[in-house]
Amino acid sequence: MKGTGIPRKEGTFPIYRYLVDTKCDAGNWSVDAYLRGCASRTVLEALANKWTCLLIDALRHGPLRFGVLRRKLDGITQKSLTQTLRVMERDGIVIRTVYPTIPPRVEYELSDLGRSVAGLMEGVKRWSEEHVDEILTAREAYDLRAQEEPRPVPVA
């Protein structure tokens, strides 16, 4: 697994467990800014993932079974879905419930923590709908430019 056995690099600043991965440059960073930056990093490692975001959104209205999730997130493989859900469970975002029936039934639902982040996802979703077109337009324009003019290089 990912979180076990934390290798500590030289020059790191092991005040908190989740800081050990980042070098401390006391000159440029206040301890406060340092903590803030690291909190963000930790969380981003957990959330900044396409499937994770889509899962949080998918589970927003209540528990869903594994198979339903797989169909809702069309395109995800069983392996990726299992993995992603496992990590989210470990991070306390989702709760996994096994019903000992035949055939087996496993439900996933957002925890309180998960629900508290679902709001952010809602924001991302709204922003997406409002701005996808701008992104796509920008891409086309960029690709067009790239074809014609050579890219401006930092030369005198």
Residue 27 partner contact from DNA, a second copy, none using kind-dependent CB cut-offs of 5 to 8 Å: none
Which residues have CB under 8 Å from 24's CB, separation 6+?
Answer: 11, 12, 13, 34
- DSSP 8-state secondary structure symbol assigned to residue 17: G
Helices (H), the chain: 31-47, 50-58, 66-72, 78-90, 112-148
Q: Which does 46 bind (CB under 5 to 8 A by kind): DNA, a second copy, none?
A: a second copy
For a second copy, which is the closer residue by CB, 31 or 127?
Answer: 127
Residue 80 interacting entry, from DNA, a second copy, none, C-beta within 5 to 8 Å by type: DNA
88 binds DNA (CB under 7 A): no
Task: State the binding string over 42-81 for DNA (x if CB under 7 A, else -).
Answer: -------x---------------xxxx------xxxxxx-
Closest CA to 13 of 1, 5, 4, 30: 30
Q: Could you give the string, one character per residue 99-118, with x where binding to a second copy holds by CB under 8 A and - elsewhere?
A: -xxx-xxx------x--xx-
- Contact between residue 17 and residue 5 where contact means Cβ atoms under 8 Å apart: no
CA dihedral 76, 55, 96, 79 (to 10 degrees): 20
Name the binder of 144 from a second copy, DNA, none, CB < 5-8 A by kind. Answer: none
Residues 34-93 that bind a second copy (CB under 8 A): 35-36, 39-50, 52-54, 57, 71, 74-75, 89-93
The two tokens of residue 78 are: 């069983």
